[in-house]
Amino acid sequence: MTRAAIARLCAAGAVLATAAAPVCAQEMAGMPSATAPSPGVVIPRIQLRGFWLADDQFLLEENLRLELGVARDLSISAELPVYQGFLDPPRPADGEFGLGDMDILLELRILREDLNAIDTVRAALFAGAELPTGTDAFSQGSVDPCVGAVFSSIRGRHGVDIAARYTAVTGDAMAHPIFIGDLGDDLVNADLGYAYRLHPEAYGEERVAAWYLTVELNAVWSSGGAHEVVLAPGLLVEAPSYAIELGVGIPVSQDTAHAPELDFMLLAGVRLLF
């Protein structure tokens, strides 16, 4: 093999390695993804969300998630909400610092078809439970098992995610419910996400941050008849070693029963990619 051929081969390998990085990390801010970390790799994510609810109530919420790659197509994640509490009266938990209930999920990827260095099709099944780790004002107080599936596709500058989840709620309704999930009814979540890569138009040899416009449709229905559908546009920036998530949530349809209705939501998050 000539030196020129070797140089071309090395350059092609560098481009493939660079282009493959976003495929491994790209995910929406408010829904599951069929991507997963490599075995032994931990990906931490911190999200801060502000909820403007009915009757001039404001809830500030922090979420910490850790995802560990167990095997090539198997990962486990733990997500713990840290609530700073309601900052406006007349909620019983005004200004109270408290933990929410933790989600533990085991995800098994059942399909991975990489069409080229960029394009890929993936699907995964997941199962787990919500654990009663929260303080009284923010906890359902029960172990609630869940199952779901997610499909992810990347074609050129376009990415699509589709996910569904069923949660069997075994506890009673909270005395002062915050979300539909606090009403004591079983839940069905359905999520649809789309991402468009603004920059770069095409990947080259250098590893650069990718900028995406994203939009999600996040819906939840309860067995008691409550529902909420939220449109969530956002911006995603993914560099080789980190990702920044920014977004808003705008309700398009809701009947929250005894929980307060959502007026508006803001989100900011950071993921570390190794």
Percent helix, strand, coil in the chain, to 5, is 10, 55, 30
CATH number of residue 64's parent domain? 2.40.160.40
Residues linked to residue 218 through DSSP beta bridges, in sequence order: 191, 230
Residues linked to residue 5 through DSSP beta bridges, in sequence order: none
User: Three-class SS of residue 133?
Assistant: coil
Instruction: Please give the average per-residue pLDDT across 100-121, as a whole number.
Output: 92
19 pLDDT band (50/70/90 cuts)? very low
Count up the domains in the chain and report the number: 1
- The chain-wide mean pLDDT, for the chain, equals 87
- Residue 20: burial class (beta carbons within 10 Å; 0-12, 13-18, 19+): middle
CB 150 within 8 A of CB 162: yes
* Residue-wise DSSP of 21-82: HHHHH---SSS--S--PPBT-EEEEEEEEEEEEGGGEEEEEEEEEEEEEEETTEEEEEEEEE
Instruction: Please give the average per-residue pLDDT across 190-213, as a whole number.
Output: 91
Instruction: Please give the average per-residue pLDDT across 254-274, as a whole number.
Output: 94
88 pLDDT band (50/70/90 cuts)? low
| pLDDT exceeds 90 at position 10 | no
Instruction: Please give the average per-residue pLDDT across 140-151, as a whole number.
Output: 95
Percent of the chain beyond pLDDT 70? 86
Domain, as residue range, for 258? 3-272
Instruction: Please give the average per-residue pLDDT across 155-159, as a whole number.
Output: 94
155/220 Cα distance (integer angstroms): 28
Residues 6+ away with beta carbon under 8 Å from 217: 191, 192, 193, 229, 230, 231, 232
Q: What radius of gyration do the chain's Cα atoms show?
A: 20
CB 32 within 8 A of CB 56: no
152/216 Cα distance (integer angstroms): 13
| pLDDT exceeds 90 at position 145 | yes
The pLDDT value given to residue 2: 41
Percent of the chain beyond pLDDT 90? 68
The pLDDT value given to residue 149: 98
CB 258 within 8 A of CB 54: no
26/127 Cα distance (integer angstroms): 21
175 pLDDT band (50/70/90 cuts)? confident
| pLDDT exceeds 80 at position 159 | yes
The pLDDT value given to residue 1: 41
91 pLDDT band (50/70/90 cuts)? low
* Helix H or strand E segment including 13: helix 3-25
Handedness of CA 189, 39, 194, 61 (dihedral sign): positive
pTM, rounded to two decimals:
0.86
Does residue 55 or residue 187 have the better pLDDT?
Answer: 187
